Structure 1
Amino acid sequence: MRLAHGRPSLRQNVLRHVLVWLGLAWLLGSIVTVGVGQWFTQRAFDRALLDDAHLIASKVEVRDRQVALQLTPGELHAVLFDQHETMLFSVRGADGALLAGDRALPPPAASLSDTGHRFRQAEIDGRSFRLVVLAVNRPVPFTVTVAQSTSERAALLRELLAFSLAPQVLLLGVLAWRLRRSITADIAPLSQLRAAVEERQAGDFTPVPVRADSAEVHALAQSINMLMERLEESARAQREFTGNVAHELRTPLAGIRAQAEYGLRHRDPEVWREQLQGIAASETRASQALDKLLALALAYEAGTALQLAPVRLDHAVQEAVLRFLPRADRQGVDLGAEGVDAPSTVQADLTLVEGILDNLLENALRHGTTGADGRPVVTVAVQREGERTVLSVQDNGPGIPPERRSEMLKRGVRGVGQPSSGTAGGVGLALVTFYAQLLKAPVSFGSGPDGRGWRCAIVFGG
């Protein structure tokens, strides 16, 4: 099977690589087998040829320094008998003169040492022969040459190749078939994984089920599932970001619209100027909020830890109280701060700290000012507890029952006494929890010291 763009499949690549190296190993093994078989075959035939030369040399007699072969034609025929090969011999003196045998045999190329012998190849009458030259020195030197045609040797070598290489070829074919089945079975989980990923619908981040016997395929499946988890987290972060933008921009945009409508209903330029100033201020707050959310979303999407830096918590609290003080005065709320006279520095991010304070104060002024006893009070406090610094916002409103506190952290849930306020009280608290998690600062929600009201505390350091 070939995949897209004409590329070979993984099975074809693996099978090709394995079979190429198996084929090379088989070829090398065959060459070694042929070489070893030829060496042993040559050695066996040469040993018999040398034995014939020694037998003929033993029948040579020397009389009055004359050399003579003492073999009858029948005895010579028996010595050199070979059913398949042609046998030739010659006996020559020290001067190279032929004393007995066939003249077709060439004389020795050079004199040999005492009782030495030498093998070589020769062409005689167009046929290939194997020769052995035996030198004898007792007391008159002479040489005995015995030659044998090589057709039988070649036939024996061909048979050796046929009987040794043919089974190897068959074995290689069986091995290739078995490898193909095994490789197909081993990479089948990859095909299953590809099919599972291709069939996956957008927004479906459930783990991909894969049955894998190999560690590599199992690791790949785990990596894909981990990627699915990161994609799910990214999608969840995008949804959170969308909700955060909607929450943070709803109030300033509504204010801009209300101020614009109010200005359109009046013809007094002073009213227009006042409303335009309010619109500009609301737009500035909306832009700042959007910038904060964008920076937060980028940091969250990148998966990188925020660069924490020293933050003067007392200054941040004072500035937040000053921002909300005009609104608190209009609502008749006693908004104050405690513990901000002494410097208090924590490792945090100023943007997130401001987001926490703004959301908590917004929530307190919106939902915590319906207390039945006296004037509504909202207090922002900074307390030092050993190595830890606690930032808290508390009101004296009706509070929230313990069974509803976790529910209030969900977006879109309204606070007590706000059935139709048109604002989502739980959104701000969800953002506070999210910001505190990014700062690695534990957050807790509960009642005030006297059991009334609503209190949120964020612990820095320690």
Structure 2
Amino acid sequence: MNSIRIRLFVILLATTGAVWLLAAAWIYASTQAEVERVLDARLMEAARMVSSLITDHRIEPSAAVDAAIANAPPPPFKQADGSYSRQLSCQIWSLQGSLVSRSESAPETSLASHTDGFEETEIDGERWRVYAVVNPTLGVRVLVGDSLEIRDRLIGDVIKGLLVPGIVILPVLAVLIWVSVGRGLAPLTRIAEGLAGRSASELHPIDDGTVPREVRPVIRALNSLFGRVAEARDREQSFTAYAAHELKTPLAGLKTQAQIALRTDDSTIQREALSRISTSVDRTSRMVRQLIDLAAVDASQGAAKDEPVDVAVLVGEIASELETQLAANEVHVAMEHADRTPQPAVLEADRILLRLAIRNLLENAIQHSPKGAVVRCRVSESQSEVVVEILDQGPGIPVADEARVTERFFRGSKASGHGSGLGLSIVQMALDRLGGNLTFERGGTWFVARASFPI
């Protein structure tokens, strides 16, 4: 049952039905008890009237019986066929056990035993509710009884008259509940129609001032999602524009150098052109790989898979992978352990993100180091974090540029022209996913890039 409307309808209808059943049970029990009480009171009054007429007015017992039946209080409900008017039956018995008088509807057999008060008996297969009162002055016993069959039919008719309207109303109530639930959910329908009518570029927030309070959390969550999607779209558009611009320049250079090599017969010029082509291809390949790395970091959001990683071993693996670049730049990598402890610096983190952060940080240091320089890699561990420090002998980052060096395609005021401006951006994004931090420090002749990862 995936429909909110149907679910609410079923819940409300079931609740209403349960309440109605409880009310019907209560009406049945209370009405039955009340009608029984009224009918019993009628029996008592009729019996006492007969006894009083005999005693006070000194009339004949048969006349007293007829007068009591005729003047008995009317029943609370009268059937259409008048059967209840023939219900009461009266007998007068002497205390010695002889029948003195009886009403027309009363049997000749005694309606009750020789006890006073109320009693239920069965005579010739018919059940009776009888009230007996003794008149010691005249030495008689007055019995007034109801036929329980007629009494039960009367009670059933009274209860039916109360419950049938409720049963008839239930279908009407179900229709009203269905319509009311539909009207209550109308704001959701309007919101759905508004969203369905939007184009892919319409990411402005929904006005939550006119929606019901219960729906506002959903609207706010949608608005938050729209904001994130809009930011991602703007970021991707900017990324695409920058990437196209950055790839356009080296590709144009490649074409120019290739044309030079094709048009000249001078082997020296050809070698120089081919060398520039090789350098440009390396740079373009690095840029493309960094673009792929950037996409990988973006795709890792919400999908990180943590595992134990020996950071020092990982740094060594990355340095080995960069041997070709190290040889081309004539740079040497030296591994150091700042704490000088034999225990490995193990970090519970996403290996892919960790590798991207360290690789781009190390590659950035190699790219900006002079020929013959040494790049030092230092791994240390404390109780709260693992720190990877990359120390190079390059020009470093001007203080004025430190706030922007992690922006995409930002090269800085002292850029050498060899980088794409993506390396530190990838490092910062990966660290953000890992909960780490990136800082820079100038220490003598060494420039230090420090990446810290929480344990």
Q: TM-score range by the shorter chain?
A: 0.5 to 0.7
Structure 2 distance, partners of 1:355, 1:251, is 26
Question: Which residue number in structure 1 is paired with residue 410 of structure 2?
Answer: 413
Structure 2 distance, partners of 1:385, 1:6, is 57
Contact 1:393–1:456 (CA<8 Å) still a contact in 2? yes
Structure 1 distance, partners of 2:237, 2:391, is 28
Structure 2 distance, partners of 1:403, 1:381, is 25
Question: Which residue number in structure 1 is paired with residue 423 of structure 2?
Answer: 428
Question: Which residue number in structure 1 is paired with residue 451 of structure 2?
Answer: 458
Aligned residue runs from structure 1 range 114-263, under 5 A = 114-115=115-116, 118-119=119-120, 132=130, 134=132, 144-146=142-144, 187=185, 190-191=188-189, 193-195=191-193, 197-199=195-197, 201-202=199-200, 208-210=206-208, 217-221=215-219, 224=222
Change (3 A) 1:107 1:218: farther
Amino acid at match of 2:119: R
Structure 1 distance, partners of 2:242, 2:391, is 21
Identify the match of residue 82 of structure 1 among 71, 75, 78. Answer: 71
Whether 1:304 aligns to 2:304 is yes
Change (3 A) 1:244 1:28: farther
Structure 2 distance, partners of 1:187, 1:457, is 55
Structure 1 distance, partners of 2:183, 2:10, is 15
Residue by residue over 1:322-343, the C-alpha shift from the partner in whole angstroms, topping out at 9 and shown as x without a partner, is 33223214xxxxx233454878
How many residues matched?
421
Contact 1:346–1:389 (CA<8 Å) still a contact in 2? no
Structure 2 distance, partners of 1:231, 1:459, is 30
Change (3 A) 1:43 1:315: same
Structure 2 distance, partners of 1:424, 1:204, is 36
Residue 443 of structure 1 aligns to a residue whose secondary structure is strand
Structure 2 distance, partners of 1:180, 1:72, is 66
Residue 408 of structure 1 aligns to a residue whose secondary structure is coil
Change (3 A) 1:340 1:31: same
Question: Which residue number in structure 1 is paired with residue 13 of structure 2?
Answer: 16
Change (3 A) 1:385 1:301: closer
Residue 106 of structure 2 aligns to a residue whose secondary structure is coil
TM-score of the two chains, using structure 1 as the length reference: 0.61
Structure 2 distance, partners of 1:257, 1:362, is 27
Residue by residue over 1:193-234, the C-alpha shift from the partner in whole angstroms, topping out at 9 and shown as x without a partner, is 545644555366666553599886455455555665776788
Contact 2:43–2:131 (CA<8 Å) still a contact in 1? no
Residue 19 of structure 1 aligns to a residue whose secondary structure is helix
Contact 1:117–1:134 (CA<8 Å) still a contact in 2? yes
Percent identical residues: 19
Question: Which residue number in structure 2 is paired with residue 324 of structure 1?
Answer: 325
Amino acid at match of 1:457: R
Question: Which residue number in structure 2 is paired with residue 66 of structure 1?
Answer: none
Amino acid at match of 1:391: E
Structure 1 distance, partners of 2:61, 2:345, is 123
Identify the match of residue 375 of structure 2 among 358, 377, 380. Answer: 380
Structure 2 distance, partners of 1:326, 1:111, is 124
Shift of 1:458: 1.9
Residue 306 of structure 2 aligns to a residue whose secondary structure is coil
TM-score of the two chains, using structure 2 as the length reference: 0.61
Contact 2:390–2:448 (CA<8 Å) still a contact in 1? yes
CA RMSD of superposed structures (Å)? 6.3
Contact 2:365–2:394 (CA<8 Å) still a contact in 1? no
Change (3 A) 1:212 1:167: farther
Structure 1 distance, partners of 2:138, 2:155, is 40
Whether 1:47 aligns to 2:44 is yes
Contact 1:339–1:381 (CA<8 Å) still a contact in 2? yes
Residue 329 of structure 2 aligns to a residue whose secondary structure is helix
Change (3 A) 1:290 1:24: same
Shift of 1:180: 8.5
Shift of 1:101: 3.7
Contact 2:5–2:181 (CA<8 Å) still a contact in 1? no
Residue 381 of structure 1 aligns to a residue whose secondary structure is strand
Residue 332 of structure 2 aligns to a residue whose secondary structure is strand
Contact 1:359–1:429 (CA<8 Å) still a contact in 2? yes
Shift of 1:23: 3.2
Identify the match of residue 389 of structure 2 among 388, 391, 403. Answer: 391
Amino acid at match of 1:327: A
Which stretch of the first structure deviates more once superposed, 242-251 or 15-24? Answer: 242-251
Residue 210 of structure 1 aligns to a residue whose secondary structure is coil
Structure 1 distance, partners of 2:46, 2:11, is 52
Shift of 1:456: 2.6
Amino acid at match of 1:304: A
Change (3 A) 1:52 1:382: same
Structure 2 distance, partners of 1:237, 1:109, is 104
Which stretch of the first structure deviates more once superposed, 141-150 or 452-461? Answer: 141-150
Amino acid at match of 1:449: G
Question: Which residue number in structure 1 is paired with residue 332 of structure 2?
Answer: 336
Question: Which residue number in structure 2 is paired with residue 372 of structure 1?
Answer: none
Shift of 1:310: 0.9
Change (3 A) 1:57 1:241: farther
Identify the match of residue 32 of structure 1 among 29, 32, 44. Answer: 29
Contact 1:317–1:340 (CA<8 Å) still a contact in 2? no
Structure 1 distance, partners of 2:433, 2:415, is 30
Amino acid at match of 2:316: H
